[in-house]
Structures are given as structure tokens and as C-alpha cells.
């Protein structure tokens, strides 16, 4: 459903975007039968033009199947159901898709966390087999106070509780990869299950376009998550999302990127973790070099002093690291446009 966005006064100040794009709100309510479990070629559920605003919802990583004590993971039909894909008109291979995250709202009064056999950073898995027994299945429910913007952790084996401030973000956000489909559990060059808190309101994400229309999909809402997502889940929630889209024509990138008013950030996803770090910093160096003309070796040395890394998760088939730098340390852009 497409409706005029005249009531929404949003200036899309995206690098390389056209100065005045027509804005339309495209509202889409996902139906259970339309949810996807892979990033890849699939019939689009809606089409977006450059400058359009997508208003939609996502279910949690369990498909909203875990609702009360006594529910088990056997009720879950598949991991990380995705809303989409959305066909972005004008997006062609070799372009960059720009996704500005305007608003994310937790769409529930509770979140869910779990331990699952064969999953987690401190658990025996198919990648790291051990002789000891797997961690048992356990489920935690997190009451959410949206007025106070916090969730409550309640221990299962004692009476301990503590409040946790919320930072809503999309655990899954990405496009169709080239030549294949990828599980909604796997992060890679297309984005996917990045589990990156950087995919939050106020930030802009960039994705390499490798298929016509890009085929944007999203899901796996998180109310909050610690670095590494070490137990395998965040505070898992359904989400109401508002995103705007644009396309940087003829501008090719290799991996997802994020940007806000203060920082630029580049993502690497692979195993082992040190290779994910190498990808992230190589991409960040290339971004700095392309935008500013600073040599790659100068950028390398600069990042050795002021670069930062964030391990977003080390539980999925690929691990994820995001490398970032504060824009105040960077030269002006060659175009003359401000960072």
C-alpha cells in the first residue's frame, strides 16, 4: 500500500542522493505465509522507489512462537523469519543501496532470550565439537517497560533481577547475495544476520547491490544485546520499523557499511574472528582512501591510533566485527561535501 508522505517532513541528507526525491510511505504488514528464511531471489512483497519510506513490522527470531513459561524451542518453525524482500527500483548490480533507519519501536511488552544445544560462544557446536554435554535448553522472559525504556532480567536459579536499558536494532538487515541464497542465520557480504547494534535508528546502512532490485529484507529485532551475543540470543522482540531507501548509482562497495553524524563503520563477517577483523579494517581503509584521497598506508597508520572495533557476534556461521573511526580524525572529502 502506497500513501503520500506529505505529513512527514524528513530531509534525506544521504551522501550521493538526489537533492529532491519524491517521498511516498509504503506500508506493508507481513503475513505468516509471506515470511522468508533466506536472503536471496524471491518474489518481492512490495516495490520501493528512491526516496520512499518503508513502514513495516517484523516478528522475533522465534517467529513470535515463544510467549509463556512452558513454551519450548520445538514450537519454532524456523530461525530469524524475514519481512520482505522489497524490490528497490533503479538498484542494479554495481550500485550501493542506502538504507536510512528512521525509527525502530519494540512491538511487544516482553522479550525472549534462550540457550539452545549446539549454539552459543561457550557451548559445544558442530564447528567446535567437545566431549562434554551441550548446554541445556533454557528460556528467559524479559518484561519490557517502554515508558522507562528498559527491560528486566530475572534469574531462573535465584531471585536476582536487574534492569537493562533498551537499544532497539535489527539483527537481520540485508540484500540478496550474488549467485546464491543465504540462510537468515548467516552474515556475509550481503549483510544478513549481522547482529549489529549499529543497525539502529539514526544510522544509515549501505549494502552492495548484486541483483536487480537489491531485494532488501529485515527481521530479528533486538531490544538490547551485549557484545558478541555470546549465549546466542539477544533480548529478542518483534519490531515496528520505518526505513528510507536510496541508491548510489555506479558506486560499488564490497561489504556492508554504517554511518552516522559522528562515525563511519565497516563490517567484516567470517571465521576465524581475525579474518573478520581484517575484512572490516581493509574496507574502512578503502572507504577513507576513496572519499578523502588519503593514501591507504596513511589511513592504515591513522587507524592504528584512533580506530575502534566492535565484536557484534561470535555465535553464527560467520563471526562479525565492525571497525569504526570518528570523523573528526579524517581529512575533508574530495567532493567538498561534509562528512
User: Is residue 123, in this structure, part of any structural domain at all?
Assistant: no
Return the pLDDT at 23: 81
Residue 176 is part of which domain span? Answer: 2-113+164-262
Look up the CATH number of the domain holding residue 172: 2.60.120.580
When divided into structural domains, the chain yields a total of 1
Say yes or no to pLDDT of 327 above 80. yes
- pLDDT (tens digit per residue) in 180-196: 999 999 999 999 999 99
277 pLDDT more than 50: yes
* Rounded Cα–Cα distance for residues 246 and 97 (Å): 6
- Share the mean pLDDT of the chain: 93
Is 25 within the bounds of a domain? yes
2 has a pLDDT exceeding 50: no
Classify residue 154: in a domain, yes or no.
no
How many other C-beta atoms lie within 10 A of the C-beta of residue 77?
11
C-beta neighbour count of 158 within 10 angstroms: 7
In a domain? residue 41: yes
Q: Residue 296 in 3-state DSSP?
A: helix
The pLDDT, as a whole number, for residue 17 is: 45
pLDDT in tens, 124-154: 888 888 898 999 999 999 999 999 999 999 9
3-state secondary structure 234-245: CCECCEEEEEEE
Average pLDDT, stretch 230-259? Answer: 98
Predicted pLDDT at 74: 96
234 backbone dihedrals φ, ψ, rounded to 5°? -95, -165
Residues 71 and 139 sit within 8 Å (Cβ to Cβ): yes
pLDDT exceeds cutoff 60 at 12? no
Share of the chain above pLDDT 90, in %: 88
**Model pLDDT, residue 4:** 46
Q: Is residue 277 part of a domain?
A: no
pLDDT, position 16: 43
Q: Is the peptide bond before 203 cis (omega within 30 degrees of 0)?
A: no
Residue 241's pLDDT is: 98
Residue that has been written with the C-alpha cell 528512491 in this structure: 50
Task: Assess if residue 300 is contained within a domain.
Answer: no
Decide if pLDDT at 275 tops 60: yes
Query: Region 300-323: what's the mean pLDDT?
Result: 97
Does the residue 193 lie in any domain? yes
pLDDT value, residue 20: 54
Closest CA to 247 of 39, 15, 54: 15
Q: What is the mean pLDDT of residues 52-69?
A: 98
pLDDT of residue 7: 40
Q: What is the mean pLDDT of residues 14-40?
A: 81
pLDDT value at position 22?
66
Does residue 118 form part of some domain? no
pLDDT tens per residue across span 88-131:
999 999 999 999 999 999 999 999 999 999 899 999 888 888 89
Amino acid at each position: 500500500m502506497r500513501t503520500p508522505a506529505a505529513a512527514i517532513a524528513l530531509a534525506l541528507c544521504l551522501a550521493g542522493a538526489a537533492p529532491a526525491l519524491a517521498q511516498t510511505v509504503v506500508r506493508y504488514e507481513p503475513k505468516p505465509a509471506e515470511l522468508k528464511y533466506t536472503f536471496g531471489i524471491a518474489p518481492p512483497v512490495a516495490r520501493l522507489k528512491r526516496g520512499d519510506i518503508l513502514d513495516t513490522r517484523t516478528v522475533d527470531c522465534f517467529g513470535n512462537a515463544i510467549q509463556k513459561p512452558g513454551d519450548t524451542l520445538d514450537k519454532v518453525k524456523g530461525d530469524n523469519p524475514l519481512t520482505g524482500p522489497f524490490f528497490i527500483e533503479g538498484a542494479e548490480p554495481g550500485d550501493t543501496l542506502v538504507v536510512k533507519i528512521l525509527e525502530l519501536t519494540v512491538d511487544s511488552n516482553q522479550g525472549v532470550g534462550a540457550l539452545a544445544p549446539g549454539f552459543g560462544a561457550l557451548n559445544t557446536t558442530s564447528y567446535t565439537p567437545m566431549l562434554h554435554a551441550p548446554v541445556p535448553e533454557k528460556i528467559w522472559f524479559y518484561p519490557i517497560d517502554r515508558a522507562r525504556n528498559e527491560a528486566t532480567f530475572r534469574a531462573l536459579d535465584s531471585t536476582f533481577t536487574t534492569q537493562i536499558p533498551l537499544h532497539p536494532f535489527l539483527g537481520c538487515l540485508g540484500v540478496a547475495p550474488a549467485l546464491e541464497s543465504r540462510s537468515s542465520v548467516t552474515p556475509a557480504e550481503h549483510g544478513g544476520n549481522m547482529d549489529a547494534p549499529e543497525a539502529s535508528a539514526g544510522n544509515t546502512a549501505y549494502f552492495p547491490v548484486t541483483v536487480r532490485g537489491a531485494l532488501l529484507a529485515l527481521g530479528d529485532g533486538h531490544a538490547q544485546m551485549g557484545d558478541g551475543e555470546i549465549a546466542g540470543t539477544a533480548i529478542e522482540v518483534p519490531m515496528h520499523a520505518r526505513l528510507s531507501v536510496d541508491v548510489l548509482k555506479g558506486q560499488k562497495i564490497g561489504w556492508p557499511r554504517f554511518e552516522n553524524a559522528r562515525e563511519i563503520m565497516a563490517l567484516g563477517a567470517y571465521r576465524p574472528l581475525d579474518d573478520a577483523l581484517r575484512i572490516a579494517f581493509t574496507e574502512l581503509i578503502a572507504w577513507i582512501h576513496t572519499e578523502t584521497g588519503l593514501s591507504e598506508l596513511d589511513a592504515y597508520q591513522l587507524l592504528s591510533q584512533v580506530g575502534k572495533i566492535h565484536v557484534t557476534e561470535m555465535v553464527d556461521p560467520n563471526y562479525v566485527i565492525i571497525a569504526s573511526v570518528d570523523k573528526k580524525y579524517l581529512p575533508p572529502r574530495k567532493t567538498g561535501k561534509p562528512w
